[in-house]
Amino acid sequence: PKIEDNFLALFLHNNYYQIEPTKNTIENYYTTRTHLSEIFCNRDPFEEKSLRQTFKTTAVFPLNELTKDGYIMIFSTLLDSDPSFYDYNNCMKKTMMLFDIQLLNGTNDGYVFIFDVGKLSFGHVMRMNPLDIKKHLYYLQEAMPIRLKAIHILNATPAMELCMNIAKAFMKNELIDIIHFHLSLESISEYIPVDALPNEIGGKAGSTLKLAEIQLKKLEDNREWFLLDELTKRVNEALRIDKSKTGNDLFGIDGNFKKLDID
C-alpha cells in the first residue's frame, strides 16, 4: 500500500528514527491488519449492527489532560456488566478504530492505557478466545506505531486475574513490566492526574457515558476514512517477493494451548 509522508513519520517516531526497526514495524502493521480481518474489516460505525451493540457495551476514549510526562491517556471500561452482550473482538475493533483516529493527529511522546475493570466477570473472560488475545497482543507489541508507556488497571477482580494469566503467555517482559494494578485512586495519582478521570471513579472529567458519546461521534465523523482504509491499505500477498505470509505465519494459529499455565 502507498504510505503517506505523515504516516511514515509516525513509524519513524515510534522507533526513535531507527531505520531497520521502522521497516519491520511498517511490514508488521500492514500485514497484520490484512490478516486480522475480524478486527480491521467491516468497520462502518453506522451500518455494522454488532459494532453498534459494542458502542453500548463498552467505553474507550482519550482523556482531556496529559500525564506530567506529556503522555496521552486512553481510558476504557464496561458500560454494561452483562457478559451476554460482550463481544471481545468487537471491543478490540472499536479500540483500534479509536487509535486509528488518534494516529491521524500525528506524533506524540507516548500513550498510557487506563482500564477500570470493576465490572469484569468470569462470564466476560469465558467469551475471550486465547487465540484472539494472542493475535491482538501481537499487533500491539509488533505493529502499532505508538510508544506505549504504561498500563494502569483499576478495581481488579478475580476475573481480571484470570484474564491476565491467559494474556501473560503472549506478552513480552517489556510489556508485563509496565502494567500496574491499583486498589485506590491515591495509588494511581502517583502516575496520572486523577481529576482527568470520569466522575464515576472519582475524577472530574464528566460522566463516562457522555465522554463515550463524544468519542463515538468522532468515529462516526470518520466513517469514510474507515471505509477507504479497508479498500486501499491492505497487503496483496500475491505480489510479495518472498513467500506469501498467512495468519499462521504471523500468529502460529495451528498451535494448541496444552502448555498454557492458567492458575
pLDDT tens digits, 31-40: 999 999 999 9
Residue 259 has pLDDT above 70, yes or no: no
Task: Grade residue 254 by pLDDT with cuts at 50, 70 and 90.
Answer: very low
* Burial class for 231, CB neighbours closer than 10 Å (0-12, 13-18, 19+): exposed
- 30 domain-assigned: yes
**255 belongs to a structural domain:** no
Q: Check which CATH number belongs to the domain holding 17 and give it.
A: 3.40.525.10
**pTM for the model:** 0.90
Residue 45: inside a domain: yes
Identify the band that residue 1 occupies on the pLDDT scale cut at 50, 70 and 90: confident
**Structural domain of 130:** 5-239
How much is the average pLDDT of 76-82? 97
pLDDT by residue (tens digit) across 201-215? 999 999 999 999 999
Residue 263 lies in a domain: no
Share the mean pLDDT of the chain: 92
Is 253 inside a domain boundary? Answer: no
Which value, in Å, is the radius of gyration of the alpha carbons in the chain? 18
- In the numeric block, the cell 478521570 is attached to 197
Asked whether residue 248 is domain-assigned, the answer is: no
pLDDT band at 159 (very low <50, low <70, confident <90, very high): very high
Other CB atoms within a 10 A radius of the CB of residue 39 amount to: 23
C-alpha cell at 214: 463524544
Strand 58-66's sheet: what is its strand order?
Answer: 58-66, 72-78, 111-116, 148-154, 179-182
Q: Count the domains in the chain.
A: 1
Q: What pLDDT was estimated at residue 247?
A: 62
- Kindly tell me if the per-residue pLDDT of 263 is higher than 50: no
